[in-house]
A and B are shown apart, each in its own frame.
Chain A
Amino acid sequence: MAFNITVYSNANASSKSISFDFVGDVLCASDEVFDANTSAIQYYYKITTSAKQDNNRAYQVKVVRTLSDLALNKTKQSAVDTANAYANVREMVTDYVYDYINGHTADQFTSGCTEQRPMKFSG
C-alpha cells in the first residue's frame, strides 16, 4: 500500500500525482556490491510520478534508503541549505515533494546535483 501526493496548480487548474511506495527488492544491478554476509534484499522508499518537468523530460525514479538520502544528490535538502538528515519520514516526504514541484539548479547549495526543472502543469 503506497500513498500518493496530489499537487494542484491553481494557475493551470490541473493536478499531478507523486507516488511513495515502500518496497523490498533485489537490487542486482544497483551501485552496491553484493556481500555474501549481508542480505540481498534491500528495503527502501520508491518515488515515482508520471508528471513531467517543464521541458517535457520525465523524472527519474527516486530511491530513498535512509533518512540521510537527501533530495539534492543525497547530500543536501532541497528546501533549505542543510546537509542534516531528515528528522523523520514526514520531513523526507515533504522535502522530496518540494523538490519535484520547484526543481533546482545544477549544483544547488553546492550539492553537486544536476539541474531539475520545475514540474509542468500546463498542457
Chain B
Amino acid sequence: MAQVKIFNDEDARYYTVTIDAVSTVLDKVYGVATNATLDFYLKLTTTLKTTAGASFGEKILRTLADVPPGYSTAVNFTVLVNDWVEYYIVQSELAMSSSSSSSSTSTSSYIENWSSSSSKSSSSSSSSSSSSSSSYIQNWSSSSTSYIENWSSSSTSYIEAWSSSSSKSSSL
C-alpha cells in the first residue's frame, strides 16, 4: 500500500491519498457475463472532498489509461499516481499545499515470515515531510532496502530532488 500525505496550509490539515493493490473475485468481467474470475487492480481512495463537500469515492485503476478526466494515458504507475494526486488537489481547490509519500508492505503473516528469513528483500522505507517546518524535512526515517544501499551518500541528491518536487506541488 502506498499513501500520499498532503498538507494544506490554508486549513492546516493533512489529507491522504491511498493506493492499494487489491484482488477480488468477480462474477462478471467488465460488465460481460462470464464465469467467476479473479481480478487484480489498484484502488484509490482519498480523504479530500470536492468543493461541494462530497467524497470523491473509490477509483478503480486497471490500466495506465485509467487517468483523471482530461489527462493522457500514463507512461508508468508513478505518473498515474501523481496525476491523480494533482487532480484531487485541483478539484479540492487546496491552496499552498505540499505532499509527501510513504508506503508499507503487507502485515500478513506471510510477509512477517519472509522478513525473518530475508529482511533485505522485504523491508520497506517511508519518508515524510512538512512544509511548515523551518528545517523543511521534519521527520526522516527509513529502513534499509535493497534499493537504498547507499542511503547516506545519496541523501543529498534525494533532498534536492524532493525539495524540487514539493515546490512543484506548492504552486498549486
Contacts and interface: CB of A to CB of B under 8 A. Distances in A.
A38 B169 CA distance: 11
Contacts, number: 159
A25 B64 contact: no
Given A88-B41, A90-B38, A42 B110 contact: no
Contact of B149 (A5, A23, A29): A29
B103 interface: yes
B77 A43 contact: yes
B106 A24 contact: no
A44 interface: yes
22 contacts: A1-B1, A1-B21, A4-B108, A21-B21, A23-B124, A24-B2, A24-B81, A25-B103, A26-B147, A26-B158, A28-B154, A29-B148, A34-B158, A41-B165, A48-B111, A50-B117, A58-B118, A65-B76, A87-B63, A88-B41, A90-B40, A92-B40
A45 interface: yes
Interface residues of A, number: 45
B42 A89 contact: yes
Contacts of B90: none
A66 interface: yes
Given A22-B2, A44-B78, A50-B114, 17 more contacts: A1-B22, A2-B105, A3-B21, A23-B2, A26-B142, A28-B148, A29-B147, A36-B164, A41-B101, A43-B2, A43-B19, A50-B110, A50-B118, A66-B75, A66-B77, A87-B63, A89-B62
A28 B23 contact: no
Interface string B129-172: 00000000000001001111111001101101110110000000
A2 to B, nearest CB: 4
Interface of B: 1-4, 19-23, 38-42, 61-64, 75-78, 80-82, 101-106, 108, 110-111, 113-114, 117-118, 121-122, 124-125, 127, 142, 145-151, 154-155, 157-158, 160-162, 164-165
Interface in A19-69: 19-30, 34-46, 48, 50, 58, 61, 64-67
Interface in A69-108: 87-90, 92-93
A34 B108 contact: no
Nearest to B19: A22
A3 B87 CA distance: 27
B146 A19 contact: no
Contact of B4 (A17, A24, A58, A65): A24
